């Protein structure tokens, strides 16, 4: 099982997937690896699904959301015989995804046929890959709209993946007193309270959302 939202550092050692696959093969046991986040492209040190399969895992489990960027779902890939056994299990009818989930998942996976397109169009990948200079430009614009200030900050991935990754980012800083009314507004706007200010990290915003966020700040100020 992959350490999806934590890391153990220091005098530690973990067996590789290939080493575990060799042990499983000697005992005629299937090796199932739970990757958690479902990375299909290279993202920092997060293991990719193809790497786990290539190293000898018989089945690999991962999420349809998180780093993959699709609908919330559980995905199992690997040896056709084992996948078929899962498909025929009586519990499968209770756990199977509905048609809307499958349609959303198909649309997301189709983007990965062109990895460069996926990096542009899958929101979570775009946020992770966007250059800091582009985020600074967005923060400048939001600061102009809200009367706030621009602050350099560090963004973290969270969500069960890349627990040690730190991304250079920029935020629009406004009054700390706005934190609660912004959270409780419609739509909610969630920032980070730090040193008496509320930081709205612009790595998690799209250009098209700036006016909406600025309007929410104006309403929160009353």
Return the pLDDT at 46.
82
Mean pLDDT of the chain: 92
pLDDT band, residue 207 (cuts 50/70/90): very high
CATH of the structural domain 17-124, one choice from 3.90.1640.10, 3.40.50.1240, 3.65.10.10, 3.40.640.10: 3.40.640.10
- Enumerate the domain spans of the chain: 17-124, 130-221
- Say what percent of the chain tops pLDDT 90: 77
For the chain, give the DSSP string.
Answer: ----S----SS-----HHHHHHHHHHTT---EEEEES-B-S-BTTBPBHHHHHHTT-SEEEEESSTTT-SSS-EEEEE-HHHHHHHHHSTTHHHH---HHHHHHHHHHHHHTTSHHHHHHHSHHHHHHH--HHHHHHHHHHHHHHHT-EEEEEEEE--TTS-TT-EEEEEEEEEEGGGHHHHHHSSS----EEETTEEEEEGGG--GGGHHHHHHHHHHHH-
pLDDT in tens, 25-74: 999 999 999 988 888 988 887 889 999 999 999 999 999 998 899 999 99
Query: Kindly report the CA angle at 135 between 6 and 208, in degrees rounded to 5?
Result: 105
Flag the least confident range among 4-18, 89-103, 206-220: 4-18
Return the pLDDT at 210.
97
Given this structure, which CATH class describes domain 130-221? alpha beta
pLDDT in tens, 111-170: 999 989 998 899 989 999 899 999 999 999 999 999 999 999 998 887 667 777 789 999
166 vs 202: which has the higher pLDDT: 202
* Residues across the chain: 222
């Amino acid at each position: 099982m992959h350490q999806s939202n934590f890391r153990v550092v220091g005098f530690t050692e973990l067996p590789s997937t290939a080493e575990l696959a060799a042990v499983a093969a000697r005992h005629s046991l299937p090796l199932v690896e739970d990757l958690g986040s479902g990375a299909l492209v290279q993202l920092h040190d997060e293991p990719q699904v193809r790497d786990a399969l290539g190293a000898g895992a018989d089945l690999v489990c991962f999420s349809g959301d998180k780093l993959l960027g699709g609908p919330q779902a559980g995905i199992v890939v690997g040896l056709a015989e084992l996948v078929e056994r899962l498909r025929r299990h009586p519990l499968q009818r209770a756990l199977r995804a509905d048609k809307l989930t499958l349609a959303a998942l198909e649309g997301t996976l189709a983007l990965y046929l062109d990895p460069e397109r996926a990096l542009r169009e899958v929101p979570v990948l775009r946020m992770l890959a966007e250059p800091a200079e582009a985020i600074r430009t967005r923060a400048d614009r939001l600061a102009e709209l809200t009367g706030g200030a621009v602050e350099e900050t560090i963004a973290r991935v969270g969500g069960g993946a890349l627990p040690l990754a730190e991304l250079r980012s920029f935020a629009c800083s406004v009054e700390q007193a706005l934190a609660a009314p912004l959270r409780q507004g419609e739509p909610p706007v969630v920032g980070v309270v730090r040193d008496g200010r509320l930081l709205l990290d612009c790595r998690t915003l799209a250009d098209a959302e700036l006016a909406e966020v600025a309007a929410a700040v104006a309403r929160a100020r009353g």
